[in-house]
A = this chain, B = another copy of it.
């Protein structure tokens, strides 16, 4: 029987009980609106851990003032059904007041990794992410926590935080899950009308072109970037936020593509911001 828990105290007690019983705990932190990407994380946790907790919390502090916090899709009952089908043990679904009570004022910041990619267009976003993830880790005390590689920068930031703050939670990252046409699964794909959904294929197209050029020996970032921006320009329906060829560990722009390369892309289609990435190993 799957439990739905809203109170911090209650899940803390449950987690303490599991620990006494020597059970390993897997946590899949989500903002709900689950898709196959999330389900791959849940299944991995089910495989590796004795109990699996899925948190569903649309975290207000990781949205900018002009971003889509209120519009973000919430389909709690459908999410519960999906979790139940995948034999999740507990859904932790706290209210905003439960997580951020009056007087709350602490923030966790991973200073350098956020000065790149999405961090530049979404100031404060990764502080919001780091803070809620650390809270969830303190609340659930998971042995392992599962994150998707689609949010590559988020993953790096969380790994860094776990290391820097001496946490014992192992971070497990899972590959991007894609729609049949190659578009990365995202809760935000729900925002797209059929035309915009067609345009979303551009992200993967840009990344595949980067892969093609780099694998064929191009080592000049400028050459690759200009080819990628040329492709992007042909798709009138989108606005590029960034196309970046950077170091997969530091996220700093590369001045030569002879090492491993993270190709990361963010575009806006109407009001919807979509991201995708690929690491090309040399």
A→B interface (CB under 8 Å): 8, 12, 103-113, 130, 134-135, 138-139, 160-161, 164-168
Would you call B103 and A111 a contact (CB within 8 A)?
A: no
Q: Which residue from B112, B138, B161, B166 sits with its C-beta under 8 Å from A166? A: B138
How many Å from the CB of A22 to the closest CB on chain B?
A: 10
Beyond the given A105-B111, A106-B111, A107-B111, could you list 19 further A-B residue pairs with CB under 8 A, ordered by the A residue number?
Answer: A12-B166, A12-B168, A104-B164, A105-B110, A105-B112, A105-B113, A105-B160, A105-B164, A106-B108, A106-B109, A106-B160, A106-B164, A107-B108, A108-B108, A109-B109, A135-B164, A135-B165, A135-B166, A138-B165
9 tightest A-B contacts by CB? Answer: A106-B164, A138-B166, A105-B111, A105-B112, A139-B166, A107-B109, A106-B110, A106-B161, A104-B164
Query: Which residues on the B side are within 8 Å of A168 (C-beta)?
Result: 12, 138
Query: Which residues on the B side are within 8 Å of A165 (C-beta)?
Result: 106, 134-135, 138
Would you call A130 and B109 a contact (CB within 8 A)?
A: no
Would you call B112 and A130 a contact (CB within 8 A)?
A: no
**How far is it, in angstroms, between the C-alpha of A112 and the C-alpha of B161 when the chains are bound?**
22
From A110, which residue of chain B is reached at the shortest CB distance? B106
**How far is it, in angstroms, between the C-alpha of A167 and the C-alpha of B113 when the chains are bound?**
25
Q: Which of A108, A134, A135 has the most CB of B within 10 A?
A: A108
**How far is it, in angstroms, between the C-alpha of A12 and the C-alpha of B106 when the chains are bound?**
25
Query: Which residues on the B side are within 8 Å of A130 (C-beta)?
Result: 106
Known contacts being A135-B165, A138-B166, A166-B135, is A160 close to B103, with CB within 8 Å? yes
**How far is it, in angstroms, between the C-alpha of A12 and the C-alpha of B165 when the chains are bound?**
13
Query: Which residues on the B side are within 8 Å of A107 (C-beta)?
Result: 108-109, 111
How many Å from the CB of A253 to the closest CB on chain B?
A: 18
**How far is it, in angstroms, between the C-alpha of A166 and the C-alpha of B94 when the chains are bound?**
13
**How far is it, in angstroms, between the C-alpha of A105 and the C-alpha of B114 when the chains are bound?**
10
Query: Which residues on the B side are within 8 Å of A166 (C-beta)?
Result: 8, 12, 135, 138-139
From A109, which residue of chain B is reached at the shortest CB distance? B107
